[in-house]
Structure 1
Amino acid sequence: MPRHYFAIAKLNIMEYTEAASLFQSKRKTKHKPLYDMWLKSAVRYSQIIVDWYLSGHESRQDMDTLRSRAHDAFISNCNALSRNMNEAGIYSSWRAKLIDDRRIIGNFACYVHTTLGIAAR
């Protein structure tokens, strides 16, 4: 079996349908600049994580700082979008569902990227 199958099987990750639902809920926001920045940071992180996954050990070490910074940026953008939605009276339960688990938040970024790719077809 492929290596990624085992990685998915042993992780407690967010289900795709749940992530897609969370993604759709944010499309209702009136904070277009924040929403766009949030989307771009999700795509950037997921692109880096795929490149990291496909790279050898030495390349991964070189990419770790970039990957971590992109992850931090996505988390920060999640927080900013959620905060602004709440201030506008739009309940953002999606952020609470992500909790503060970096793995779940990173998985969510990858799901957002996947959803965008499918929607663009």
Structure 2
Amino acid sequence: MTSWLAFAGAAVLEIVGCFAFWAWLRLGQSVLWLLPGMAALAGFAALLTIAESPLAGRAYAAYGGIYITAALLWGWLVEGHRPDGWDVTGAVICLIGMAVILFAPRAMPA
């Protein structure tokens, strides 16, 4: 359960942090948007470290499914672009992949 919460929080912080750069570079907002954006990206990185995985790469790979889903939700809730059936299907596939990566039974390392 800790991984799910860490991934969800990390996804929100990563999207907020990246959106701050988007707002500055693409929407003409002040460069000051980068300050909270960089803080959000630092929080994102810190949250990924508490995922229940002994390997960073595996945790990052599993996180991808949550991030994709959160990005589609951001697009819908913040930018007003409702995901279509293909978006939802892709997100479900990614979440299944995330679950396989994170929760597959593995032998204990020697």
TM-score tier by shorter-chain length is 0.3 to 0.5
Q: Larger Cα Rg: Structure 1 or Structure 2?
A: 2
What TM-score comes out, normalization by structure 2 length? Answer: 0.44
Q: Which has the higher contact order (CA 8 A, sep 6+)?
A: 1
What TM-score comes out, normalization by structure 1 length? Answer: 0.41
